[in-house]
Amino acid sequence: MITLTIDGNRITTSPDTTVLTAALAHGIEIPRLCHHPDLSVSGGCRLCLVQVQGRANPAPSCGLLCEENMAVQTSTDLIEKMRRDVMDLFVSDHPMRCAICDKNGACDFQKYAYQYGIAETTHDFEISKPLYQDDNPFFIRDHEMCILCGKCVRVCDEVVGANAIDFAGRSFGARIATPFDLALSESACVFCGSCVQVCPTAALLPASRIGKGREWELQRTRTVCGYCGVGCQIEYATRRGQILYGQGFRDAPANGEYLCVKGRFGWDFAASPERLTHPLVNKELAAALHLPIDENATLNDPVLQTREGKNFVAVTWETALDLAAQRLADTLRETGADSIAGLASARCTNEENYLFQKFMRASIGTNNIDHCARLCHASSVTGLGMAFGSGAMTNPIRDIRHADCVFITGSNTAESHPVISYEVVRAVKNGAHLLIIDPRRVPLVDHATLWLQPTPGTDSYVFLAMAHVILRESWHDAEFIQTRTEGFDAFAEAVKQFTPEIAELQSGVPAEKIEQAARMYALGERKFGASAFCPPNAASEPRGHSSILYAMGITQRTNGTELVLTLANLAMLTGQIGKPSTGINPLRGQSNVQGACDMGALPDVLPGYQKVSNAEARQRVENEWGGAVSPKPGLTVVEMMQAAFDKKIRAMYIMGENPMLSDPDVTHVEHALKALDTLIVQDIFLTETAQYAHLILPAAAWLEKDGTFTNTERRVQLLAPVLAAPGSAKTDWEIVCELGKRLDAQRSDNEKVESSRAPRWRFDGTEQIMLELARVTPIYHGARHPRLRGNGLAWPIPDENHPGTPVLHTEKFSRGLGKFHALMPQLPYEQTDAEYPLILTTGRILYQYHTGGMTRRSEGLAWREPRGFAEINPTDAARIGLRDGGWVIIKSRRGQVRTQARIGERVPPGVVFYSFHWKEGPANVLTHAEKLDPYAKIPEFKVSAVRLENPAAEHDAKKSAKPKRSEPTDEIMAQPAE
């Protein structure tokens, strides 16, 4: 540490801080326009000049490192004059249209123009950059307003990693430009809006706010984003009940100021005219039961005028809730509790999921409750539970930027978890190695040191070979293995046979690359720069810190659990766990998928992962809930659908899920849903699933409710309502409580349930629900809404004063010793053959989210990617004469879809990628549910055997076949076997 004085204040700081940072940290304000604390030093604006005693010339404080005994003056006559001159020059190239400028009041440039009293320039230059671009619906670029501070260029390069823009030209022709000065939509731009966030002027503005209100007229609400699991906090600015724009803010714990295109611009779905505003009942059912119909709403609700809505009529909440309770009570009486199943939602709050599972377990009395975590990270929960004793991300998101080596496998981080990819980009820019193992060339490969491309389904050979190499070369951490783990010997014996050469044979990844990868990961090597964890000469800790990130490429497999265990083995083998910037980090897909699992919306566990078979845990919740809980684990999502198909499940209650698009083999799901006697769907839109419902309950969206979400790093964060729910839509917890009350009343009539149960559905708000759920959920014991404000807390939170646990397994693993599992590699269930020679792998794209319920109703997001597409390698495309951008038919043993073909090297030969967001061509028509992971019951979305057909070729062939009767069209369909 060193000591210096700034404006006479003695300040002690570390020698690698700049004078500007030190001054700002101590409340000394220095004008600046091109500085940003997250970005590299530019030193271009010359406003932050300071004078250092004993030096002839003023120096920019943003690039000036603190030195011992330095004496700095931030404001002298000379400096003030220089700053005034600089502002004068800036104003000469910036129209002062503050009166009609949307940035008015939040503009750094305006602030300094005011501070130095400059409204007009003394220079007579013409404004040099008269370019205005509004080619995209997200934000506008007004080059007249640009002061060329370059913050947008740096944020795009150093944080986002998209590199869409850079400085072009020079002198008066200098400008921020995309390549060839094209529109942003024709550049590498990912529309995350980080440039808009850091822009100090009105050169970059969200299009949605222009002309709609000035800064001081807006209300600001901070809430948690409802899209992916990163858990970004967003500040929404509203006026007259309308959102004008969303932005990040520095204090947000997971994301800082940065967001992705969905969070920043994808909020307009909430105001869609397609939102459900009244409870709806199937028309025939309403007629059969002579239900009182809300005629007015039925005639005027725009949803009911659509093709899908024609089958429904609107009713009052009273009618709807009574009907629901009646139907469930009838089913209970006739066929028992286990003939009812519920699907909770990974997009509803913890409080709502807690109540939902309580409803299923206490009021109905079944463990048939599950949610879509089954389809994404069930194998993580199971696998990490087996290895460490708790199944969640071990380290916080913010840790990634300090890692020495980041190892990503089976995750398209840049598109599925964009804000986490910014952390990875920052680590790489800091000098970390990035190692990617993925069959697809995902966007982050551009930043990777090493990319291994195994054939889909063969990655387990690569991981085993990495373990083999680590042991062979003695890169393992013997002390960690000795003191913290068990089962090592059997594991070491098992990996002996899996040499890199065998892996090369199976996966096609060169053995040499596997050896490089093993070294990089095990020793935590860096590309350049010093590690934050092993100083160059320190003997105490010889290895850098490596972090594993993975997602559905690992879990959505028939051996998903084993693959997770294999990664856990690698981390324990090298001791890369339980320390900052290490660990195993499953990136969870939905805003509250972690929380929904924590709350026990799973068939085998109560809140806090207490097994339903555990009598003691059951006793605790029974005392709280009043009523017996079944000790028998319930059915999982896929099993429920099978049971519904077999008529063993008679009624289903689905809260905020869309299995008609998200579940494997949706043709089968359709038959299952049609077979139900009662299907109650609670959602914000008339989804593909809701179309089969007998009763639809309109719910509030995440922008309209309070409660908590638990993000992928286990951080429990508080939401705040930004908008009012449309029409008579209610929050999910209100609906579940109402249903609970009514069902209990029904049952007490019929079965004489003691009246002590009545208060169990009485809550004044989500804060009260949190009190109850904290009592029965050990890992949430200390969670209270007031404590969660701001940064939130990472579970486990064992008591009310506990500060949360950002890093898991630091001293010991949750289960005591970490357990090595000796495993054999396994190939995917569905193998290719002559008829279906290609492998289909499904996933997400940046601009859409899951089944598209929200994103496809967002104007901007739908503008960019309005329809589905398949990625196909040129060799496979050439074989059947596909045209880039033309149509293609993908066929599997279960069905077919028609979509756009995008031909390129992103997928290797023999592999087709298709995203699952599209109701017009659901990817899950193609996938199978025939074999599930034996531990986690997760289906294999990542590997299905398919073949491609060219509709154009078929068409042409038919045309030419008529006059000439030439070769049979079958020949075009037939493809040589791989």
Can you tell me the distance from the alpha carbon of 784 to that of 766, in angstroms, rounded to the nearest whole number?
Answer: 10
Nearest alpha carbon to residue 552 among 396, 391, 384, 409: 409
Among positions 864, 891, 894, 917, the unique one binding other proteins when judged by CB under 8 A: 864
Whichever of 72 and 152 has its CB closer to other proteins, that residue is 152
Q: Provide, rounded to whole angstroms, the least separation between the CB of residue 862 and other proteins.
A: 9
What minimum distance in Å lies between the beta carbon of 265 and other proteins?
13
- Could you give the 3-state DSSP secondary structure of residue 727? coil
Count of H helices and E strands in the chain? 33, 38
Q: Which of residues 904-963 bind other proteins (CB under 8 A)?
A: 904-905
Choosing from 865, 933, 940, 949, the residue that interacts with other proteins (CB under 8 A) is 865
* Nearer to other proteins among residue 339 and residue 855 (C-beta): 855
Q: Are strands 405-409 and 369-370 parallel, antiparallel or unpaired?
A: unpaired
Residue in 373, 853, 939, 913 with CA at minimum distance from that of residue 660: 853
Read off the tokens for 925. Answer: 């028509």
Task: Report CA 440 to chain centroid distance, whole Å.
Answer: 19
| Rounded Cα distance, 137 and 140, in Å | 8
In the bound state with other proteins, the residue whose beta carbon lies nearer, of 134 and 677, is 134
Query: Which residue in 61, 110, 136, 194 binds other proteins (CB under 8 A)?
Result: 136
CB 274, min distance to other proteins, A: 19
Q: Which residue in 869, 918, 935, 941 binds other proteins (CB under 8 A)?
A: 869
Count the Cβ atoms, other than its own, within 10 Å of residue 365. 18
CB of residue 413 to other proteins, shortest distance in Å: 19
Work out how close the CB of 147 gets to other proteins at its nearest, in angstroms, rounded to a whole number.
18
Amino acid identity, residue 757? R
> What are the phi and psi torsion angles at 281 (to 5°)?
-125, 145
The two most distant CA atoms of the chain are separated, in Å, by: 96
- Rounded to whole angstroms, the Cα distance separating 261 from 246 reads 11
Residue 46, token pair as written in the block: 């010359």
CB 224 within 8 A of CB 236: no
Neighbours of 322 (CB within 10 A): 18
Rounded least distance, CB 762 to other proteins, Å = 48
Piece in contact with other proteins (CB under 8 A), picked from 16-24, 131-139, 288-296, 922-930: 131-139
Minimum separation from the CB atom of position 861 to other proteins (A): 11
Question: Of 773, 903, 907, 912, which lies in the binding site for other proteins, with binding defined by CB under 8 A?
Answer: 903
Q: Are 394 and 809 in contact (CB under 8 A)?
A: yes
> What's the min distance (Å) between Cβ of 525 and other proteins?
20
**Shortest reach from residue 239's CB to other proteins, in Å:** 16
- Would you say 624 and 653 are in contact if contact means Cβ atoms under 8 Å apart? no
The smaller minimum CB distance to other proteins, of residues 781 and 864, is found at 864
Q: Which is nearer to other proteins, 448 or 794 (CB)?
A: 448
Site for other proteins in 634-673 (CB under 8 A): none
CB of 210 to other proteins, least distance (A): 6
Q: Binder to other proteins among 249, 475, 863, 887 (CB under 8 A)? A: 863
- Minimum Å gap between C-beta 123 and other proteins is 23
CB-nearer residue toward other proteins: 485 or 873: 873
Choose, by CB under 8 A, the member of 41, 82, 210, 532 that binds other proteins. Answer: 210
CB atoms within 10 A of CB 239: 14
Judged by beta carbon, residue 141 or residue 928, the one nearer other proteins is 141
Q: Which sign does the torsion angle of CA 305, 306, 311, 315 carry?
A: negative
Q: What's the min distance (Å) between Cβ of 848 and other proteins?
A: 13
One residue of 43, 44, 721, 874 binding other proteins per CB under 8 A: 874
CB of 91 to other proteins, least distance (A): 20
User: Which span (577-585, 586-594, 813-821, 857-865) binds other proteins, by CB under 8 A?
Assistant: 857-865
Number of residues that bind other proteins (CB under 8 A): 41
Write out the binding residues for other proteins, residues 217-246 only, by CB under 8 A.
none
Q: Decide whether 7 or 144 has the Cβ nearer to other proteins.
A: 144
Q: How far apart are the first and last CA of the chain?
A: 65
Q: Indicate which single residue of 211, 536, 786, 976 sits in contact with other proteins (rule: CB under 8 A).
A: 211
Distance in Å, CB of 831 to other proteins, minimum: 30
- Alpha-carbon distance 50 to 27, whole Å? 16
Q: Which of residues 137-166 bind other proteins (CB under 8 A)?
A: 137, 140, 142, 157, 163-166
Residue 528 interacting with other proteins (CB under 8 A): no
Determine which helix (DSSP H) or strand (DSSP E) holds 683, and give its type and residue range: strand 678-683
Q: Return the range that interacts with other proteins (CB under 8 A); candidates 17-25, 253-261, 271-279, 899-907.
A: 899-907
How far apart CA 709 and CA 718 sit, in angstroms, is: 7
What is the β-pairing status of strands 651-655 and 678-683? Answer: parallel
Residue 256: CB minimum distance to other proteins, A: 23
Pick the binder of other proteins from 130, 885, 951, 968 (CB under 8 A). Answer: 885
Looking at the Cβ atoms of 165 and 773, the one nearer to other proteins is 165
Q: State yes or no: residue 336 binds other proteins (CB under 8 A).
A: no
What φ, ψ does residue 804 adopt, rounded to 5°?
90, 170
Q: Least distance to other proteins from the beta carbon of 369, Å?
A: 41
Residue of 130, 866, 881, 934 interacting with other proteins (CB under 8 A): 866
For other proteins, the closer of residues 137 and 389 by Cβ is: 137
Q: In terms of CB distance, is 297 or 901 closer to other proteins?
A: 901
For 239, the token pair is 């006026």
Beta carbon of residue 184, minimum distance to other proteins (angstroms, whole number): 10
Separation of alpha carbons 945 and 928, rounded Å: 10
Determine the Cα–Cα distance for residues 41 and 563; give it in Å rounded to an integer.
Answer: 43
Please provide residue 896's backbone torsions phi and psi, each rounded to the nearest 5 degrees. -145, 155
Per-residue x/- mask for other proteins, residues 84 to 123, rule CB under 8 A? ----------------x-----------------------
132 binds other proteins (CB under 8 A): yes
What residues contact residue 464 under an 8 Å CB cut-off, 6+ apart? 495, 498, 503, 566, 823, 825
**CA distances in angstroms from 12 to 48, 71, 437, listed in the order given:** 21, 12, 45
Could you tell me which stretch among 26-34, 417-425, 647-655, 898-906 binds other proteins (CB under 8 A)? 898-906
> What own/partner pairs with CB < 8 Å and gap ≥ 24 does 605-613 have?
606/361, 606/776, 607/354, 607/357, 607/773, 607/776, 607/777, 607/780, 608/776, 608/777, 608/778, 608/779, 608/780, 609/381, 609/385, 609/390, 609/391, 609/779, 610/778, 612/367
Task: Classify residue 187 as exposed, middle or buried by CB count within 10 Å of its CB (0-12, 13-18, 19+).
Answer: middle
Residue closer to other proteins, measured from CB, 885 or 934: 885
Choose between 217 and 646: whose C-beta lies nearer to other proteins.
217
Judged by CB under 8 A, the chain residues 169 through 208 that form the site for other proteins are 169-170, 177-180, 185-188, 207
Shortest reach from residue 211's CB to other proteins, in Å: 5
Q: Which is nearer to other proteins, 142 or 404 (CB)?
A: 142
In whole angstroms, how large is the CA radius of gyration of the chain?
Answer: 30
Q: Which residues bind other proteins (CB under 8 A)?
A: 100, 132, 134-137, 140, 142, 157, 163-170, 177-180, 185-188, 207, 210-211, 863-866, 869, 874, 884-885, 900, 902-905
